[in-house]
């Protein structure tokens, strides 16, 4: 696939995933990914094909290597919100992961509230 | 907007508009979808290094049209400042490593190309 070597792909994917987690999929620019990964723009495109290709690689790595982590759940939430509605491959990937891990809608909703600092199990305030 | 991009059957067709055909010496670029690896909405790509121009038009901070060589890669640019730039990555067997294009409704085009490539 013409993928350039000379960099650690796992490290690139970890840094890119952290960037997507911070700003979401659409909110992350290629400029930010270039800054976070240290790769040149052309090398990033050559290695992953597109921003979508990079995100899917991050998602695959997270669900296979850290299936139960909070970061994985957060990346799954980003994918569910932003890519899944228009991307069949991402929908399939997410469906497999959620089925395999037995993740329910309640689990996802709870994690979403926790991320938003609105977890009702932690705070019974009148929000 | 400097380019019309269409997906017809199993091909992606780029047609520069108006005089951009002349500046870039290309009336049309046609690539089989099998040679398209993906597309990205990337407005900031306008400011990225382009390399050696051969042939083409360079009006820094305004527009770039034509074939450029950098790091051993041949790329095609037809972009204008403030435009909606999309980047289309191609397979090594394609005539260019990638295409940088100003288009109308870049995000929608990127979704259409990626869906066609995956499908």
Q: Where are the beta strands (DSSP E) in chain B?
A: 3-8, 11-16, 29-32, 36-41, 52-59, 63-70, 73-80, 84-90, 98-103
Of A45, A53, A86, the CB nearest to B98: A45
The average confidence (pLDDT) of chain B is: 94
d(CA B108, CA A119): 36
pLDDT (tens digit, 9 = 90+) per residue, A14-71?
Answer: 999 999 999 999 999 999 999 999 999 999 999 999 999 999 999 999 999 999 999 9
List of chain A residues whose C-beta atoms are within 8 Å of the C-beta of residue B115: 86-88
> Taking 80 as the threshold, does the pLDDT of residue A3 lie above it?
no
Listing DSSP states for A17-53 in one string gives: HHHHHHH-STT--HHHHHHHH---HHHHHHHHSSHHH
Residue A55: its pLDDT value, please? 98
List of chain B residues whose C-beta atoms are within 8 Å of the C-beta of residue A87: 114-115, 118
Average pLDDT over residues B90-116: 96
CA distance B112 to chain A (A): 10
Question: What domains can you pick out in chain A, each with its CATH number?
Answer: 9-117 (1.10.357.10)
pLDDT (tens digit, 9 = 90+) per residue, A63-110?
Answer: 999 999 999 999 999 999 999 999 999 999 999 999 999 999 999 999
Of the two residues A3 and B29, the one the predictor is more confident about is B29
Element (H, E) at B113: helix B106-118
Residue A5: its pLDDT value, please? 56
- B3-118: CATH, from 3.40.720, 3.40.190, 3.30.420, 2.30.29: 2.30.29
Per-domain boundaries in chain B: 3-118
CA distance B11 to chain A (A): 18
> Taking 90 as the threshold, does the pLDDT of residue A122 lie above it?
no
Asked if B40 and A45 come within 8 Å (Cβ–Cβ), the reply is yes
pLDDT bin (cut points 50, 70, 90) of residue B21 is confident
């Amino acid at each position: 696939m013409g993928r350039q070597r000379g960099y650690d792909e796992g490290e690139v994917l970890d840094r890119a995933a952290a960037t997507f987690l911070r700003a979401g999929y659409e909110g992350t620019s290629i400029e930010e990914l270039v800054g976070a990964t240290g790769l040149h723009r052309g090398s990033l495109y050559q290695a992953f094909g597109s921003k979508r290709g990079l995100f899917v690689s991050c998602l695959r790595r997270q669900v296979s290597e850290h299936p139960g982590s909070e970061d994985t759940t957060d990346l799954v939430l980003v994918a569910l919100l932003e890519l899944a509605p228009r991307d069949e491959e991402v929908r399939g990937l997410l469906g497999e992961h959620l089925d395999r891990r037995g993740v329910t809608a309640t689990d996802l909703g709870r994690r979403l509230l926790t991320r938003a600092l609105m977890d009702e199990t932690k705070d019974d305030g009148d929000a | 907007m400097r380019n019309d991009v269409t997906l017809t059957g199993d091909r992606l067709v780029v047609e520069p508009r108006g005089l951009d055909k002349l500046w870039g010496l290309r009336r049309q670029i046609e690539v089989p979808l099998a040679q398209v690896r993906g597309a990205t909405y990337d407005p900031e790509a306008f400011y990225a290094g382009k390399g050696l121009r051969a042939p083409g038009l360079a009006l820094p901070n305004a527009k770039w049209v034509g074939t450029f060589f950098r790091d051993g890669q041949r790329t095609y640019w037809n972009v204008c400042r403030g435009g909606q730039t999309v980047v289309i990555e191609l397979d090594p067997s394609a005539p260019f490593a990638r295409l940088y294009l100003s288009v109308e409704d870049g995000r929608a085009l990127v979704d259409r190309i990626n869906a066609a490539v995956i499908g």
